[in-house]
Structure 1
Amino acid sequence: MSVRRGTNLDRVGGFNDAVVLDAIRRSTRLSRVELAEVTGLSGQAISNITRRLLEAGLLRDAGRQRTSGLGKPRTLLELEPAGQYAVGVHLDPAVVTVVVLDLTGEVIARRSVGTPHADDPDVLIDRIAATIEDVITEAAAPRDRVTGVGIAAPGPIDVERGVVVDPPNLSAWHLVPLRDELRERIGLPVLLDKDVTAAASAEKWAGGGGSFVFFYLGTGVGAGLVIGDEVVRGSSSNVGEIGHVIVDPDGPVCYCGRRGCVGEASQPRYLVQQAMQTGVLAQGIDLDDRGAVDAAFARLCSEAEDGPGLAREIVAVLAERIAKVVEDIANLLDLERVVFGGPHWEQLAPLLGDAVRAALEERFLVRSVHPFEVAGTALGVDVGAIGAASLVLDQTFSPNPSVLLPDRELVGER
Structure 2
Amino acid sequence: MLVLKPEGTRKKNANTLLHILLKEDGISRVELSRMTSLTKTTVSAIIKGFKDSGIVEESNQVSTGNIGKSPIPLHIRADAVYTIGVHLSRERIETLLMDAQMNIITYNRGEDYEKFGLEGVINSLFININKIREYAKKKKINIGAIGIGIPGPLDAQTGVVKKPPKFKGWKNVPLRSIVQKEYGVPVWIENDANVCALAEKWLGSGRNIHNFINILLNEGIGAGVIINDELYQGTYDFVGEIGHFLCYEQGKFQYLEDIAGADVLLRWANSQGLSVKSLKSIAELLQQDNQIANSIVKKIATWIGSAIVNAIHMIGPQTVFIGGKMVVLGEPLIQPIRKIVSRYLFGEQAVNIQFSSISSNAVPSGAGIYAMIHWLEKKCSEI
Matched AA of 2:236: S
How is 1:38-117 mapped onto 2 (pairs within 5 angstroms)? 38-117=35-114
The correspondence for 2:26, drawn from 22, 25, 29, is: 29
The 3 A distance-change label for structure 1 pair 298 and 259 is farther
The 3 A distance-change label for structure 1 pair 120 and 261 is closer
How is 1:251-400 mapped onto 2 (pairs within 5 angstroms)? 260-279=254-273, 281-282=274-275, 293-294=277-278, 297-307=279-289, 309-342=291-324, 344-366=325-347, 368=348, 370-396=349-375
* Distance in structure 2 (CA, Å) of the matches to 1:399 and 1:133: 25
The answer for the alignment partner of 2:158 in structure 1 is 161
* Distance in structure 1 (CA, Å) of the matches to 2:290 and 2:21: 50
Matched AA of 1:392: A
Which ranges in structure 1 are unaligned for 5 or more consecutive residues?
1-6, 252-257, 286-292, 404-409
- Displacement of 1:8: 12
* Distance in structure 2 (CA, Å) of the matches to 1:349 and 1:190: 35
The 3 A distance-change label for structure 1 pair 50 and 387 is same
- Displacement of 1:74: 2.7
* Distance in structure 2 (CA, Å) of the matches to 1:173 and 1:78: 41
- Displacement of 1:115: 4.3
The 3 A distance-change label for structure 1 pair 161 and 34 is closer
Matched AA of 2:11: G
Cα pair 1:16 1:399 within 8 Å, conserved: no
* Distance in structure 2 (CA, Å) of the matches to 1:205 and 1:240: 19
The correspondence for 1:137, drawn from 134, 137, 147, is: 134
Three-state SS of the structure 2 residue aligned to 1:276 is helix
The 3 A distance-change label for structure 1 pair 372 and 118 is same
The 3 A distance-change label for structure 1 pair 49 and 161 is closer
- Displacement of 1:215: 1.1
* Distance in structure 1 (CA, Å) of the matches to 2:371 and 2:95: 14
Question: Aligned residues: percent identity?
Answer: 23
- Displacement of 1:399: 9.8
The 3 A distance-change label for structure 1 pair 161 and 377 is same
Which of 92-101 and 154-163 deviates more?
Answer: 154-163
- Displacement of 1:324: 0.3
Q: Does 1:220 align with 2:214?
A: no
- Displacement of 1:11: 4.5
The answer for the alignment partner of 1:194 in structure 2 is 191
Aligned length: 376
Q: Does 1:239 align with 2:235?
A: no
Three-state SS of the structure 1 residue aligned to 2:360 is helix
Cα pair 2:113 2:124 within 8 Å, conserved: no
TM-score by length of 2: 0.88
TM-score by length of 1: 0.82
Matched AA of 1:238: F
The 3 A distance-change label for structure 1 pair 311 and 244 is same
Q: Does 1:149 align with 2:149?
A: no
- Displacement of 1:37: 1.5
Three-state SS of the structure 1 residue aligned to 2:368 is helix
The 3 A distance-change label for structure 1 pair 130 and 15 is farther
- Displacement of 1:316: 1.4
The 3 A distance-change label for structure 1 pair 308 and 208 is farther
How is 1:397-408 mapped onto 2 (pairs within 5 angstroms)? none
Cα pair 1:85 1:100 within 8 Å, conserved: yes
Matched AA of 1:240: G
Which ranges in structure 2 are unaligned for 5 or more consecutive residues?
none
